[in-house]
Amino acid sequence: MANRGSPASLMGDAAIGRARLDQETRIRDDAHDALRLWLRLLTCTSLIQSIIRTRLRESFECTLPRFDLMAQLDRHPEGLKMGELSRRLMVTGGNVTGITDQLVQEGLVARDSVPSDRRACLVKLTPAGRKAFLRMAQELEQWLIRLFSHVPDGDRKRLHALLGELKIGLAVPRKR
């Protein structure tokens, strides 16, 4: 049995089951390292997202898209237009509108008119929304600290640096 706070106990039974049947199980033993690496990254991302989605839902009755929208607004206290939110979240305007409507009803965000553009509105966190977001963000950080706690500090820093190199390399246009 996993101890409380261990990566396994944070995952839950469903996530542990998915870990056994993850993307990496699709490949053959002789697959190229690039394919293995891509599937390992995909698996880790999927597992972490699943854990975070479950925790947000159970602890705050919040979805990951709602959290992400609030995170963008927290970074931009002056507010963001709906189109900008859509671009930053990489979802359709309809998705942003639906989430924003719910958050407005709950008093967590407000829409303000834009004097220079009558068709646009700025979406901002309300004081209650900022307070709720900060509680969730602090808890999320603690979950992530515990999820990564089995990886030694030096290895986490090195992994972060290596993934930074990968990110930079991927941003450079390459021939097919």
For residue 8, the model assigns a pLDDT of 54
Asked whether the whole model's pTM tops 0.75, one would answer yes
Are 56 and 62 in contact by the 8 Å Cβ rule? The answer is yes
The per-residue pLDDT string of the chain (176 residues; one tens digit each, 9 = 90 and over) reads: 444 455 555 555 555 555 556 777 777 778 898 998 999 999 999 999 999 999 999 999 999 999 999 999 999 999 999 999 999 998 888 889 999 999 999 999 999 988 888 888 999 999 999 999 999 999 999 999 999 999 999 999 999 999 999 999 999 877 76
